[in-house]
Amino acid sequence: MRGLILVPGWVVLVGLVAAQEPKPAEPAKAPQWQRVLSKEDAKTVADLRRKLAAAKAADRVDEAVKLLEEVVALRTRVQGADHWEVVDERVYLKTLRTLDADGRRDWRAARLANREAFQLHAGGRIAEAAPLFQKALDIRRKVLGEDHPDTANSYNNVAANLQARGKAAEAAPLVQKALDIYRRVLGEDHPDTAASYNDVAANLSARGKDAEAAPLVQKALDIRRRILGEDHPETGNSYINVAINLAALKKTAEAAPLFRKALDINRRVLGEDHPETATSYNYVAIILETRGKAAEAAPLFQKALDIRRKVLGEDHPDTGNSYSRVGFNLEARGKPAEAAPLYQKALDIARKVLGEDHPDTATSYNNVAANLQTRGKAAEAAPLFRKTLDFRRKVLGEDHPHTADSYNNLASNLTARGKDAEAAPLYQKALDIARKVLGEDHPDTARSYNNVATNLTTRGKADEAAPLFRKTLDINRRVLGEDHPKTATSYTNLAFNLAAQGKATEAATVLRQAVFSAEASRLTRAKGIERAIGAKFDPRLLLAAMECGTNPGGAWNQAELTLARGLLDQRDQPGSTLTPAESAERGTLQARVTDLQSRILVLVTRTTRSDAENTELEQLLTARRAAEQKLAALAVAESARAVAAPEAIRAALPADAALLLWVDVFSTGGVEEHFACVVRRDGAPRWERLPGTGESGKWTKEDDALPQSLREALARSAPAARVAALAKQLHAQRVAPVLKHLDGVKTLYVVPVEAMAGVPVEVLAPEFTISYVPSGTFLARLPRREVRPPTLLAVGDPVYEPGTARRPDLTALPPHGLLVQQVAPAGAAGTAGLRAGDVILSYADTPTKTLDDLQAAVQKAGGAKDAALTYWRVGADDRPAERTVRVPVGPLGVALARDPAPAAIADRRKTEAMLASAGRGDPLADLPGSRYEVARIAGLFDQPKVLLDSKASEPEVEALRTADQLKGYRYLHFATHGKGDNVIAFDSALILSQDKPGEEFAPSDRPWRDNRVTAREVLDYWNLDADLVTLSACETGVGQAGGGDGLLGFAQAFLLKGSRAVCLSLWEVDDTATALLMQRFYQNLLGKRPGLAAPMPKAAALREAKEWLRGLSSDEALREGAALRAGVVRSGRGEQVVRRVGELPEGARPGERPFAHPQYWAAFILVGDPN
């Protein structure tokens, strides 16, 4: 399962709270969690309970009652009559007093039926478990009555079984019934009542009612904090439930600290090596991944896997789940091939431990199939999707949400293979199941309507698809609200559908609604630049395309409203632009929502509601939606103020400059529009439709792919002729149509978004000085620069050899034996010094090749006090050795692997090698040229700060950051390796010195010391006051596509953290060419190039350096290279490169211009202030 699942309520065991001396204050006046038994009282209760168990087992009821009365009296005296543990004891006492012999027999029968049902349910035989859960409920209702916690427990169990069979609606009244019983019998302040609130919330969530579930999970948390205290695992569980609910409501920023809090509680209370702690690591990782921080999530997923392997062993379903989670994370980081063996490992565990006929095994087959499809192997994935569907139909039945998912997945597989007609009935089948099982008002039903509609559109049936798109929209508006991303997407899909049918007026009306919904959802799903992560298509672009012919100014305004919105939100921190009246209205609406929430809670927690109460609930929900929509409208109006007025943007443009942006609109239904927009200081914006090369100017697939084709050709060093041909085609497509509007223009301010993000426009239009800006608003609102002396921080020539030797591969295996997976610290084995990973070779001189051998040996030594145990261990020196210890005869207190030790250890090593391979990057080559580059640039400054060799490290840079010294540099220059990441936002990284080991996983309050500086770390922690940051490294301009915010990476990070401009690279760059280019660039910037009268503006300085580099002859290049190296010593490091720095590129011939290929000079672009 890839989604977040609410943690079910779980029963609190008496005595879970650690014993401590009670405070002298009266018990009833202290919080319940402080009213615990002293050690002496706890011992007394334990002794009484042992006697009670013996009396009950012998059916000496009167004796059992007296013993329990003593327990009740002691607890009441120490803890108070209102304490939940006292309430439990009183209920138990009442039950013992009430039941006769037949009743006690039936009570035991119900318990046995319940236990058998649990075993069947856990084993995947869910339908077989149902009658046994019902049997237990029937007995308990008859023997104990309705008002008993065991009866409530049975209602919950029947409901959980129904829910597992996809019958959440049938389960709803049962979980509500259980809650009513718990509240009536145990009271509000009881762990079982809190758990029951969670169960009702989980049922609501299963029915797509996350908003209604929100007050219930909060109620459960409040109870647990009140009666169990902050430091309790169940309180941690409740923090997780509240966080999951927030995540389901797309409030991931609010959810993140709650997941972290639950982790902190479990680490503190349960310890690091505990299954619940592993689960908490998983949840923290999941929310990080959801927020686009998959790289930060990776070590946490790995940590959870490590704990589960250590504590639960290799052959455990939760361990298999962790393998899947690590696999999902690798896919999220763009590594589906590395994820494949982990999915397979999870499947192998499920098949071995759970068997073929288990729902979790089916899910594992599904994950393997989905991975195959992601890797372009849809044909190989098809039989696995089919297998999953067949299993779910057989075991879960036709009418189950998971079965519907499988129909959808198989249909998606057919679609991927171009078989849309064959996919159609499967999409329809999934819809039929969703309508029947989940009802019309469920997000999954809406999704199925959308799938059917999209399939119809793809098959050219837009008119038949229209009512289904409308149906999708109606459900999402009703269930999710106007300010939800799915609602916004539904509006946009309907608008595209209407446009495809030629209904432009209707499409424009829907688009305006889509704009409001999209903006409201953008504002609610995250904050600041985070809103750009995973950005969807902005409907304003289609509106701009539709209006640009009749209203060019309005169309430009619509386009401008899509640009750099995340960056502007974070930089400008909107919130102070509301008028006093708007602020007052917002306060009133927020209070209104709070009031409505409390009244909704009262009604949704009733078992049965009258027609009048149902009407009232619907009115309250409608009122809440209306209040939330008004709040959203205020937020949308305030957000629009973050964008500069058109006249302010024009005023920021010099007379010899123009702002250029492109608008590309695509849809499944065939709507495709391509425009360029030119904005100059005077006159209306000029729009030009961009013609394709197809019939009647239509765009072909090759036309659509042209920007990407040029990017790839440059990044892969394609032959110059190929690059030139692609550049000529792209010039004709994107630049030639607007040249008539560029008379007198010397500088183009290019907005690098959507299809043109990452394309070096100077290759298409070398006659212009190109400067890249996030938006017109950014240009208009550039702050005034204070004149300060030029100061430099330069980092270069890091050490890339690992500082610690890698552990040698281990090949030695024990001759036989049993692998120890877990050791109880106080058990016989733990006391004797055994630990996880040891292998038991013999017991009492009997070889232990199988579990039966060990059991027989223990029984044979039964008469002795202790026995010899010989075990095998790999020591700290990686050498295996055998040791013998004496242990008491009896249970060892260990968990052992099922398979023989040699096979189990070999499999474990294979798995560890696989995990290591998945996480390991490519080896890094030395960068001697970066030393020369830094030396030459530093020589242009007075007293520069230079970090080289081992000092070119994350700790050194971090020391400057923590001392707030980074603000002191006007220029920051990093000449290192870089790693661009186009999958995860802000995970592009500068790779610093690797000679010291980094941290295992990321802390929450400072940068992760992993020998890298990521864009995310800059964004979260840095504080600059710089004119320019130059990242003279590979791929530093690469990032995840963020819609109107462009490629999300270092550009936004440094612009937001105090740099006016950033110089970045778009592909892997050449060491010598980069060193020469950068030296010339800084000479121009500082006015220190011979013959230069004054410093040049940044954009002009970079353009001149590029033209100079590309025009160098072979002889000139060799002279400049020699001058670059002169006087710079690289002591003790050597030059581990194929050719020496300063020499000509491989294949270059005398008389040629060795750096004329755009590969050498076009990689670096300037983003931000060009001046």
- According to the model, what pLDDT value does residue 15 have? 25
In the block, residue with structure tokens 């008539």: 740
Q: What number is the average pLDDT over the span 123-137?
A: 86
Given a cut of 90, is residue 168 above it in pLDDT?
Answer: no
pLDDT bracket for residue 1166 (50, 70, 90): very high
CB neighbourhood size of 1131 (10 A): 6
Whether residue 754 contacts residue 899, with contact meaning beta carbons closer than 8 Å, is answered with no
Given a cut of 90, is residue 951 above it in pLDDT?
Answer: yes
Long-range contacts formed by 122-127: CB under 8 A, 24+ apart: 123/354, 123/355, 123/358, 124/354, 124/355, 124/357, 124/358, 124/359, 124/360, 124/361, 124/395, 125/357, 126/161, 126/164, 126/165, 126/359, 126/395, 126/396, 127/165, 127/395, 127/397
Element housing 464 (H / E): helix 462-479
- According to the model, what pLDDT value does residue 251 have? 75
pLDDT bracket for residue 998 (50, 70, 90): confident
The answer for residues whose C-beta is within 8 angstroms of residue 912's C-beta and 6 or more apart is none
Whether residue 94 contacts residue 101, with contact meaning beta carbons closer than 8 Å, is answered with no
Which among 888, 884, 851 has a CA at the least distance from the CA of 870? 884
Residue 174 CA to residue 163 CA, distance in Å, equals 11
Whether residue 562 contacts residue 542, with contact meaning beta carbons closer than 8 Å, is answered with no
pLDDT bracket for residue 1089 (50, 70, 90): very high
Residue-wise pLDDT for 500-557, tens only, equals 888 989 999 998 888 888 888 787 767 788 888 777 788 899 899 999 999 999 999 9
Judge if pTM exceeds 0.85.
no
Residue-wise pLDDT for 132-148, tens only, equals 999 999 999 999 999 99
Q: What number is the average pLDDT over the span 206-222?
A: 86
The answer for residues whose C-beta is within 8 angstroms of residue 714's C-beta and 6 or more apart is 723, 760, 763, 1066, 1067, 1158, 1159, 1162, 1163
Residue 866 CA to residue 845 CA, distance in Å, equals 12
Residue 156 CA to residue 618 CA, distance in Å, equals 26
Residue-wise pLDDT for 301-321, tens only, equals 999 998 998 888 888 889 999
**Domain map of the chain by residue range?**
646-780, 792-800+924-1168, 818-914
- Class of domain 792-800+924-1168 (CATH, top level): alpha beta
Element housing 33 (H / E): none
- According to the model, what pLDDT value does residue 646 have? 93
The residue count of the chain comes to 1171
Pairing type for strands 989-991 and 977-979 reads antiparallel
- According to the model, what pLDDT value does residue 1124 have? 79
Residue-wise pLDDT for 352-393, tens only, equals 888 888 888 889 999 999 999 998 999 999 999 999 999 889
Whether residue 487 contacts residue 515, with contact meaning beta carbons closer than 8 Å, is answered with no
CB neighbourhood size of 376 (10 A): 11
CATH 1.10.10.60 holds for 818-914:
no
CB neighbourhood size of 443 (10 A): 21
Whether residue 1163 contacts residue 768, with contact meaning beta carbons closer than 8 Å, is answered with no
Kindly report which listed range (413-427, 693-707, 940-954, 1005-1019) carries the lowest average pLDDT score: 1005-1019
- φ, ψ at 170 (rounded to 5°): -70, -30
In the Cβ-directed half-sphere of 579, how many Cα atoms lie within 13 Å?
3
pLDDT bracket for residue 918 (50, 70, 90): low
Residue-wise pLDDT for 686-735, tens only, equals 999 999 999 988 999 999 999 999 999 999 889 999 999 999 999 999 99
Which among 820, 825, 822, 892 has a CA at the least distance from the CA of 855? 892
Q: What number is the average pLDDT over the span 644-660?
A: 95
Given a cut of 70, is residue 964 above it in pLDDT?
Answer: yes
Pair of tokens at residue 77: 């005296």
Exposed, middle or buried by CB within 10 Å (0-12, 13-18, 19+), for 307?
buried
